[in-house]
Amino acid sequence: MNTTENPTRVALVTGGSGGIGTSIVERLAADGFAVAVHYAGRAAAAEAVVASAVAQGARAIAVQGDVADEHQMARVFDSVEAEFGGIDVVVNTAGIMINGPIATFDLADLDRMHRTNIRGAFVVSQLSANRLRSGGALINFSTSQTRGQLAGYGPYAASKAAVEGMTLVLARELRGKDITVNAVAPGPVATPLFLEGKSDELIEHFSKVVPLERLGQPDDVAEVVALLAGPGRWINGQTLFVNGGLA
């Protein structure tokens, strides 16, 4: 497809089949993007997100792949480019969180989490660096726990600190390409990933430690992503802590 015949900007959202990713897909669709909803194993959920975006009047497709597998993700990028003519924005929300104390943490769990969160982010960043169109944006996802020092979050925070590091370096490496590279670091957001395994008392605690005295909602994060994906072109090489004022 000739992009001069289709000026619509195109976004690929990894992990778009649930949680924050779904809200981002919906927001970008509302902003006029054509959207590719990436998923690993939740095909039905991804198709439901696609249907919702199409109902908003957007063009949308679902694409499947393991973010840590460079060959599968290259095919994902191929599919999006074949459908829409190119890619302008990649939002890399795909990730897993396994918590526990560092002293007793299962190294198999560490390897599994780091494969998705670090290698996966690296694969997606590498492909984005080579295939985003001029004027594009790569938005990776970190966590406010990289500076929160909360007990039990060490392994997860370590994986996301790596994401921040590679993101900020890549922004400098892409000098001259007119591609912005940033990381979004949410605080406590009411998603299944965050709420799973937590008691009502602990959830209430998290909501009260935030100066705004509530948990974040996926739409709160989607607003920031929409800024970085659209008009926020002067924001580059940054980690944005989206957490309601949490230290």
CATH at residue 79:
3.40.50.720
- Provide the pLDDT for residue 145: 93
In a domain, 208, yes or no: no
pTM of the model: 0.93
Residue 193 CA: distances (Å) to CA of 3, 110, 172, 186: 37, 17, 31, 12
What's the pLDDT score for residue 3? 39
Q: What is the pLDDT of residue 92?
A: 98
Could you tell me if residue 147 is inside a domain? Answer: yes
User: What pLDDT, on the 0 to 100 scale, is given for residue 115?
Assistant: 98
Cα 240 to Cα 139: distance, rounded to the nearest angstrom: 10
Q: What does the DSSP 8-state code read for residue 57?
A: T
- Domain hosting 160: range is 10-191+216-241
Residues of the chain with pLDDT under 70: 1-6
Q: How many CB atoms lie within 10 A of CB 244?
A: 20
Helix extents (H) in the chain: 19-30, 43-55, 70-84, 107-114, 120-131, 154-173, 192-195, 200-209, 218-229
- Domain assignment present for residue 207? The answer is no
206 lies in a domain? Answer: no
**Residue found under tokens 């918590």:** 99
Is residue 211 in a domain? no
Which one, of 132, 185, 118, 96, lies nearest residue 12 by Cα? 132
Is residue 121 situated within a structural domain?
yes
pLDDT of residue 1: 37
Q: How many independent structural domains does the chain possess?
A: 1
Task: Determine the Cα–Cα distance for residues 186 and 20; give it in Å rounded to an integer.
Answer: 10
Round to whole Å and give the CA distance between 22 and 196. 18
Q: Do residues 43 and 62 touch, judged by C-beta distance below 8 A? A: yes
Q: Is the dihedral of CA 105, 106, 111, 114 positive or negative?
A: negative
pLDDT in tens, 142-158: 999 999 888 999 999 99
CA pair distance 6, 70, nearest whole angstrom = 28
| Residue 196 confidence (pLDDT) | 78
Catalytic residues: 156
What is the pLDDT, as a whole number, of residue 4?
41
SS3 42: coil
Residue 2 lies in a domain: no
Give the DSSP letter string of 160-212: HHHHHHHHHHHHHHTTTS--EEEEEEE-SB-SHHHHTT--HHHHHHHHHHSTT
First-to-final CA distance of the chain: 47
- Residue 135 resides in a domain: yes
CA 59 to chain centre: 20
pLDDT given for residue 201 in this prediction: 87
- Contact between 98 and 236 (Cβ < 8 Å): no
